[in-house]
Amino acid sequence: LRFEIQQSEKLRIIGQLAASIAHEVRNPLTVVRGFLQLLQSDQIPEEKRRMFLKLGIEELDRSETIISNYLAFARPQSQRIEAIDAAERVEHAAGIISSYATLRNVEIAHQARPGLLIEGDPEQLSQVLMNLLKNGIEAMQSGGVLTISAIDEGNLVLIEITDTGIGMSPEETARLGNPFFSTKEGGTGLGIMVTYQLIQSMNGSIDVHSEKGKGTRFTIKLPRKYD
Ligand code: ADP
Ligand code: MG
């Protein structure tokens, strides 16, 4: 499916998001502040101390994700357009997300052909891959192998992210990309919206194939650049 946001619609969403982002980020800050206050006491049992630290870090990570997605969406066209090696970005994203995956018993298998070039902002492509990998991990509640690959097909570079998680119904799949569509407790519904937007700005397209209870595969197609 192709996803296109008109400029006026985008401005409307940016405005709407700003309010909810402020709210979404204030909550974790309050929570973290509370934990820090509790940790000031030296009476706290070790087990509780560890739990407060773990929850605090999770809340900060959540704020970070919300803010970077918002910025990726709201920021004007990226200035940094360069030749990107798809395999290099795949490895980079898989590396960054690896501790998150390990915590959830997910193994990330990446196989990318080196030397496939595309044009764009490397940070933005990383953001896209991170969002999709993160969703894949979160969908695999009992662990397993999450696959990411990059291959060429004609004049296109195909990046595929395949999970064996909970999958989506056709109705859920159809709602992907709508701001705030989330089925997760504490979900933001910003990741896919931003992902679609970024792929569009790179002149690419993204397809999703999903089956409830089986898993999901996202296929990104980007124009291949030859040097
Ligand atoms: P969030 O992850 O914060 O909920 P996203 O925009 O990243 O927001 O995803 C929106 C929704 O799309 C998710 O809540 C989930 O319902 C669905 N979704 C996205 N990716 C997957 C996936 N790999 N497997 C199952 N559902 C998914
Ligand atoms: Mg997400």
Helix axis angle, 46-74 relative to 122-139, nearest 10°? 130
**pLDDT for 76:** 57
Question: Among candidates 218, 200, 104, which has minimal Cα distance to 158?
Answer: 218
Q: How far apart, in whole angstroms, are the C-alpha atoms of residue 170 and residue 174?
A: 6
Quick: pLDDT tens for 112-157. 999 999 999 888 898 899 999 999 999 999 999 999 999 999 999 9
Cβ of 78 closer than 6 Å to ligand 1, yes or no, is no
Cβ of 182 closer than 6 Å to ligand 1, yes or no, is yes
Q: How far apart, in whole angstroms, are the C-alpha atoms of residue 125 and residue 122?
A: 5
Cβ of 190 closer than 6 Å to ligand 1, yes or no, is yes
Ligand nearest to the CA of 139: 1
DSSP letter assigned to residue 6:
-
CA of 163 to the centre of ligand 2 (A): 14
Q: Give me the percent of the chain exceeding a pLDDT of 90.
A: 59
Nearest alpha carbon, ligand 1 atom 7? 191
Q: Which of 13, 61, 134, 135 is the pocket-test mutation for ligand 1 (most atoms within 8 Å of CB)?
A: 135
pTM of the model: 0.81
Q: Cα dist. 91→17, 23, 199 in Å?
A: 31, 34, 19
Quick: pLDDT tens for 80-123. 889 999 999 999 999 988 988 998 999 999 999 999 999 998 88
Mean pLDDT across the chain:
89
DSSP letter assigned to residue 5:
-
For the cut 60, the answer to whether the pLDDT of residue 70 exceeds it is yes
- 10 Å CB burial of residue 20 (0-12, 13-18, 19+) is middle
For the cut 50, the answer to whether the pLDDT of residue 2 exceeds it is no
Higher pLDDT, 56 or 78: 56
